[in-house]
Amino acid sequence: MASLTVRQLDEALKKQLRLRAARNGRSVEDEVRTILRGAAAEGDAQPAAASKPGAPSPRRATLAAGTKRVLLIVGGGIAAYKSLDLIRRLKERGIAVRCILTKAAEHFVTPLSAGAIAGERVFTDLFNPAGEFDVGHIRMARETDLVVVAPATADLMAKLAGGLASDLATAVLLATDAKILLAPAMNPRMWANKATQRNLAQVIADGVALVGPNSGEMAEAGERGTGRMAEPLEIAAAVEKLLGAGKAAQPLHGKRVLITSGPTHEPIDPVRYIANRSSGKQGHAIAAAAAAAGADVTLISGPVNLPDPFGVTIVKVETAREMLQAAECVLPVDVAIFAAAVADWRVTNAGAQKIKKKLGQATPGLSLTENPDILASIAKRKSQRPKLVIGFAAETENVAANAKSKLVTKGCDWILANDVSAASGVMGGDRNTIQLVTAKGIEPWPPQTKDDVAAMLVAHIAAELEKK
């Protein structure tokens, strides 16, 4: 056959062919040739199997042994744009991603962009004969290790709670035996609505896992509250945790880890307090990374404006003394990491009632006393001292020298020294530059995100525990 002209293709099929060709970097003509070649070869090899219902699809992407697969359902909300980054983050972690876009999601992202990043065909329609023939919603529901819904809209959550199967996404959710992870995203009032909270309680009771939603600014001008979708990195960490991908990906499996994070607030009176600029981002990132590495993590957090990291036990405290007490209750642990910026002093004459200002009279004097040093107390314990005790050194000058002396005076094993001067942007920012100070010397780490610092620290801890 010298050439082949295919006529009478309907518009939808032509569009599908064009998308598929674009995804594979071929001309439409070449794509048709490839499909025909593949079909002929499959036909020769497995004539009987191919015609059986439920037989493996000739076009199914074959995965390397051990590769985990996530089925990502993208719901229709403004947060859908983050789903493209989520696909990238999952693929970076060696996870294969197959996507379903709901009709509403297609208003925010296109099958072409999701498919290009996933490197796989994207499915949108339950009643599309090509899609159903190619993979089919029941196989899609089964051929996955985890189903992730991100963003999970109020509508999708309601349908999941009610067991509806009115489109491809909900049919797959109803048909799957795999664990389901929702990353809700909606307006704070929709999230707080009794119906949504009822549906939430139902899906949690049904065993569905949740990541987020977070609090903060919403897409709508002037709207704040709870309802922001968790960030792609948080969702990726939750996915890794749920996939529990073997010991290699879980180097802290079976280890107990204690982490302190955030500032402490030391009351002056019932409405005022002493605090510092710590955001808790670094400590929380370490907690998330340790949990993703399989550790049993307890995070003791001072007052922060951050979501609870996925898969950790969180204890919320306010003052240094509460933080110490909570830390002692968590012992014994294998590793303790003290990332909190603990207030060094508390007010001894804190008012039981709001201290009133009296015009023309002297300002009230605050009498301060030193707070317990939580890191030093745990590091110097005779019993139940963790195998590895790690502190931070927040410095604005002489960073390395001050950190070295803290290593000795506090009796810990490692100090992560960082420059917290205003110019460094570390306090409250997303990046950090660490010098790891140990008895052996100083190891400078590159400037990187706080998430990357957390991952690097977890890798160092895992290597150290291997030796012990």
Residues that bind ligand CTP (CB under 6 A): 260, 320, 338, 340-342, 344, 371, 373-375, 391-394, 406
Q: Which residues pair with 415 in a beta bridge?
A: 391, 437
C-alpha neighbours within 13 Å on the C-beta side of residue 21: 15
Q: Which lies closer to ligand CTP via its Cβ, residue 294 or residue 391?
A: 391
Contact assessment for residue 76 and residue 105, using Cβ atoms and an 8 Å cutoff: yes
Q: For 75-195, where are the E strands, in sequence order?
A: 96-101, 122-123, 146-152, 179-184
Measured distance CA(282)–CA(456) in Å, rounded: 12
Question: Nearest approach, Cβ of 233 to ligand CTP (angstroms)?
Answer: 24
Token readout for 318 is: 């306010």
Cα distance between residue 445 and residue 436, in whole Å: 7
Is 276 tagged catalytic? yes
Cα 234 versus chain centre, distance? 1
Nearer to ligand CTP, 212 or 391 (CB): 391
CB atoms under 10 Å from CB of 272, counted, come to 15
Residue (80 or 393) nearer to ligand CTP, CB: 393
Six token digits for residue 342: 């603990």
List phi, psi (to 5°) of 442: -120, 130
CA atoms of 145 and 177, how far apart (whole Å): 9
**Which burial class, exposed, middle or buried, applies to 348 when counting CB atoms under 10 A from its CB (0-12, 13-18, 19+)?**
exposed
Active-site annotation holder among 24, 187, 193, 276: 276
In 185-308, DSSP assigns E strands to 209-210, 214-217, 224-228, 256-261, 266-267, 273-274, 296-301
Shortest spacing between CB 393 and ligand CTP, in angstroms: 4
**Minimum gap (Å) between residue 339 Cβ and ligand CTP:** 6
C-beta of 326: minimal distance to ligand CTP in Å?
A: 12
Residue 221, exposed/middle/buried by CB under 10 A (0-12, 13-18, 19+)?
exposed
Q: Name the one residue in this structure whose structure tokens are 């996933």.
A: 118
Helix (H) or strand (E) holding 370: strand 368-370
Burial label for 113, CB within 10 Å (0-12, 13-18, 19+), is middle
Residues belonging to the chain:
468
Instruction: Provide, rounded to whole angstroms, the least separation between the CB of residue 427 and ligand CTP.
Output: 11
435 bridge partner residues: 417, 444
Q: How many CB atoms lie within 10 A of CB 114?
A: 25
Active site residues: 276
